[in-house]
Chains A and B, each alone.
Chain A
Amino acid sequence: MSAGDWTLASLWLAVIASGLYHGVNPGMGWPLAVSAGLMEKSPRALVAALGPLTAGHLLAMLLVLLPFALLVAVVEWQRTIQIGASLLVVGFGLFRLANRRHPRVLARISPAQLALWSFAVALAHGAALMLVPIYLGLCREAELDSGHAAAGALINTNLGMAVLVATVHAAAMVAAGGCCAWLAYRYLGLKFISQSWFNLDTVWAVSLVLVGAIALALSLV
């Protein structure tokens, strides 16, 4: 495999890994699926709850990725866009480090509005933003393959890439979260809910800074 292939593989791995990371984090919602299953006394309710949780997450990813998908078509600004996006992610990570307050708006969402909650929580915590540098890296790799395509085709490619990245990420997220929910529901019991819950606020904010910093370093190379 060429260096490009390796980069491409590692970027896709990053999309999947970040999905798994979001999925196992209780803050992204799998304990809600456990609650749904237990309240309805049915594993079906658990699985059904994963649907809106994934939909909300996916929508948040798309909402953040799509503007970038349109932007990167402006080929001559690509470097600027990458630097800007990296700084944005670093900045948001620093903001999360400084401001530990939980967004109050999340507390106003009813337990019945799982998709809306998942969408809001993914935006508020910067989960979607975390994908931007990886996505931009993938676009760059794809572009190397296709050469200098016409602007229209490039936009289509980039939009398609955004949808693909968001979908793969959300699939990994629901797989990991679903596993946690199912294990807690079926085998590990409710005690697992509090036992598996670690305060990831700092780790989360630092991951954002790290992802942004790596992307920044790469775009400056």
Chain B
Amino acid sequence: MNIRPDPTFHASPKLAMEAPPESFAYTVLLSPDFSKPDALAVIDVKPGSSSYGQIVHTVTMPNKGDEFHHFGWNACSSSLSPLTGHAFLERRYLIIPGMRSSRIYIVDTKPDPTKAAIHKIIEPEEIFRKTGYSRPHTVHCGPEGIYISTLGGGGKNGTDGPPGVFIMDCETFEVLGRWELDRGPQTLHYDFWWNLPRDYMVTSEWALPPQFENGIVPEDLLSNKYGHRIHFWDLRARRNVQTIDLGANHQMALEVRPAHDPIREYGFLGVVVDTTNLEGSIWTWWREGGKFHIEKTATIPPEPAAKEQLPPLLQGFGAVPPLVSDIDLSMDDKFLYVACWGTGEMRQYDVREPRKPKLAGSVHIGGIARRTKHPNGKAFAGGPQMVEISRDGKRVYWTNSLYSTWDNQFYPDGVPGAMVMANAKPDGGLELAGDYWVNFPDGYRSHQVRLDGGDCSTDSFCYPSV
């Protein structure tokens, strides 16, 4: 406990942007064949440092087969909410869920990121017993502690009951139990985020474990059985207030990115693929007159490709779908970054008019058919995947792996871990940094990135930028 609020807690997004830039990036590494334990890599991102762009520390886990995916901080700027009184927590522990094992690691990053070490391990049985959920996924710190979404319900296959969100104590890391009191029609889960002063939560849908653990199930995709709805909740009452169906052809409604400025009551949602035409799409949701609305505001078309360039899964289509696997919104709510994992493109949209995104920048790297190399000449397998934006909006980092079994289906040649960075221009425009390339250990893939002091997919704020 601090005497003063952690200096990385900011009252508004504007103050977060003015804070010192990041010094370290944390990237989770996974062993796709489960032969080695997963790990957390600490990367030096201080420009001019002698170890710039290199892994300076690795925390290797004691178990195998965890499959690290998304992770988050124990505390962030949301702790400055006077309603909840957690202002003296430290942004110190990384909460890293194993999506395949349902085990959660708490990693202590103090006193120095290069000495980060495991603080506590929560075994899967505790999560099963206390929540009835499995396959923990997204982590956010919020009013009642640490919130963790799950992709599976109970039982071996994770299909006994719907998945949802559970709460963990933000000091003892004890699993407290389910968050939902009334889930309404919600039966699938993926991402979640919120607007704290307006007191609502938004959740999205991917699939149940049998539909993703052994790879994508093409029959289920073509018969539109993956998630295609978005749910809105009363955050404190823990109650579903509205569910909107995007239309069954809009398969896999994944990342939820609300505007950071809590005065703005809108946000974005990325949809992986439209089964009628293979395009990916961006949706804008907003609240008006107490009701939520959503509409498709940008589409990304598939790219034609010769059969020999395609993995067996896509050969029948003669085209590469963009596969919008991640989106991220800059702290000033001006630019939305869209990772097209299939076509190998990072798109930057100007979203100052949220319902009229305008393409402002783009870089190609990797991709199923294009296989664009990095400016340094190195091959980039896979495509742009988990994306993270620096608080000041000037640097955009991303990795290349999606999920072990899906990687193998779309990129059968393998997806060796890679992490790159692009510089973003203030008025739009994106350029890959030629000198930023992280070498990961052999046999590891890289997934989500977190920046010390917070980033654009971590922090939520209780005060508007003024």
Which chain B positions have C-beta within 8 A of A26? 82, 87
Q: Which of B4, B10, B15, B87 has the most chain A CB atoms inside 10 A of its CB?
A: B87
**Residue in B11, B84, B199, B263 whose CB lies within 8 Å of A191:** B11
The verdict on A92 contacting chain B, using a C-beta distance below 8 Å, is no
Which chain B positions have C-beta within 8 A of A111? 83, 196-199
Contacts A27-B85, A193-B11, A194-B11 given; does A38 touch B5 at CB 8 Å: no
Select the stretch in B43-51, B132-140, B458-466 that faces chain A: B458-466
Which chain A positions have C-beta within 8 A of B82? 26-27, 29-32, 35
Q: Mark B162-202, 1 if CB is under 8 A from A, else 0.
A: 00000000010000000000000000000000001111000
Q: Mark B248-278, 1 if CB is under 8 A from A, else 0.
A: 0000000000000011000000000000000
Closest residue of A by beta carbon distance from B5: A194
Which chain B positions have C-beta within 8 A of A106? 83-85
Say yes or no: B80 contacts A194, CB within 8 Å. yes
Which chain A positions have C-beta within 8 A of B4? 194-195, 197-199
Which chain A positions have C-beta within 8 A of B88? 199, 201
Contacts A34-B463, A35-B462 given; does A194 touch B9 at CB 8 Å: yes
* Complexed CA–CA distance, A101 and B86 (Å): 10
Closest residue of B by beta carbon distance from A34: B463
Contacts A102-B85, A104-B144, A107-B83 given; does A39 touch B464 at CB 8 Å: yes
**Residue in B10, B143, B199, B262 whose CB lies within 8 Å of A112:** B199
How many chain-A residues does the 8 Å CB contact rule pick out? 34
Which chain A positions have C-beta within 8 A of B198? 111
Which chain B positions have C-beta within 8 A of A195? 4
Which chain A positions have C-beta within 8 A of B313? none
The verdict on B130 contacting chain A, using a C-beta distance below 8 Å, is no
Distance between A46 CB and nearest chain B CB, rounded to angstroms:
12
The verdict on A190 contacting chain B, using a C-beta distance below 8 Å, is yes
* Complexed CA–CA distance, A106 and B82 (Å): 10
Which chain A positions have C-beta within 8 A of B196? 111
Say yes or no: A109 contacts B85, CB within 8 Å. no
Say yes or no: B464 contacts A110, CB within 8 Å. no
**Residue in A38, A100, A107, A189 whose CB lies within 8 Å of B464:** A38
* Complexed CA–CA distance, A26 and B463 (Å): 15
Which chain A positions have C-beta within 8 A of B3? 198-199
Say yes or no: A39 contacts B5, CB within 8 Å. no
**Residue in A102, A110, A190 whose CB lies within 8 Å of B466:** A190
Say yes or no: B84 contacts A102, CB within 8 Å. yes
Which chain B positions have C-beta within 8 A of A38? 263, 463-464, 466
Interface members, chain A 174-218 (any B CB < 8 Å): 189-191, 193-195, 197-199, 201
Closest residue of A by beta carbon distance from B85: A102
The verdict on A148 contacting chain B, using a C-beta distance below 8 Å, is no
Report the interface size class on chain B: 35 or more
* Complexed CA–CA distance, A26 and B263 (Å): 22
**Residue in A39, A104, A107, A108 whose CB lies within 8 Å of B262:** A39
Say yes or no: A190 contacts B83, CB within 8 Å. no
Which chain A positions have C-beta within 8 A of B287? none
Q: Mark B123-165, 1 if CB is under 8 A from A, else 0.
A: 0000000000000000000011100000000000000000000
* Complexed CA–CA distance, A39 and B196 (Å): 12
Q: Which of A34, A107, A112 has the most chain B CB atoms inside 10 A of its CB?
A: A107
Q: Which of A27, A29, A190 has the most chain B CB atoms inside 10 A of its CB?
A: A190
Distance between A41 CB and nearest chain B CB, rounded to angstroms:
8
Contacts A35-B197, A109-B236, A197-B5 given; does A191 touch B143 at CB 8 Å: no
Interface members, chain A 30-60 (any B CB < 8 Å): 30-32, 34-35, 38-39, 41
Q: Mark B44-86, 1 if CB is under 8 A from A, else 0.
A: 0000000000000000000000000000000000001011111
The verdict on A117 contacting chain B, using a C-beta distance below 8 Å, is yes
**Residue in B1, B145, B262, B463 whose CB lies within 8 Å of A193:** B463
The verdict on B214 contacting chain A, using a C-beta distance below 8 Å, is no
The verdict on B12 contacting chain A, using a C-beta distance below 8 Å, is yes
Closest residue of A by beta carbon distance from B82: A31
Say yes or no: B463 contacts A110, CB within 8 Å. no
Which chain B positions have C-beta within 8 A of A107? 83-84, 143-145, 236
Contacts A31-B82, A35-B462, A111-B83 given; does A190 touch B11 at CB 8 Å: yes
The verdict on B2 contacting chain A, using a C-beta distance below 8 Å, is yes
* Complexed CA–CA distance, A192 and B86 (Å): 17
* Complexed CA–CA distance, A2 and B318 (Å): 100
Interface members, chain B 437-466 (any A CB < 8 Å): 462-464, 466
Distance between B174 CB and nearest chain A CB, rounded to angstroms:
11
Which chain B positions have C-beta within 8 A of A112? 199
Which chain B positions have C-beta within 8 A of A100? 1
* Complexed CA–CA distance, A189 and B171 (Å): 30
Which chain A positions have C-beta within 8 A of B10? 194
Interface members, chain A 72-108 (any B CB < 8 Å): 100-102, 104, 106-108
* Complexed CA–CA distance, A190 and B83 (Å): 16
**Residue in B84, B144, B237, B463 whose CB lies within 8 Å of A35:** B463
* Complexed CA–CA distance, A154 and B368 (Å): 87
Which chain B positions have C-beta within 8 A of A193? 11, 80, 463
Closest 7 interchain pairs by CB? A31-B82, A190-B11, A107-B144, A199-B88, A194-B5, A107-B143, A193-B11
A and B contact pairs by CB, cutoff 8 A, 30 listed:
A27-B82, A27-B85, A34-B463, A35-B82, A38-B463, A39-B197, A39-B263, A100-B1, A101-B171, A102-B84, A102-B86, A106-B83, A106-B84, A106-B85, A107-B143, A107-B144, A110-B199, A110-B237, A117-B83, A189-B466, A190-B12, A190-B15, A191-B11, A194-B80, A197-B80, A197-B87, A198-B3, A199-B1, A199-B3, A201-B1
A-B contact sample (16 more), CB < 8 A, given A32-B82, A107-B145: A26-B87, A35-B82, A38-B263, A100-B1, A107-B84, A109-B83, A111-B196, A189-B466, A190-B14, A193-B11, A193-B463, A194-B80, A197-B80, A198-B4, A199-B2, A199-B87
| A-binding residues in B (CB < 8 A) | 1-5, 9-12, 14-15, 80, 82-88, 143-145, 171, 196-199, 236-237, 262-263, 462-464, 466
| B-binding residues in A (CB < 8 A) | 26-27, 29-32, 34-35, 38-39, 41, 100-102, 104, 106-112, 117, 121, 189-191, 193-195, 197-199, 201
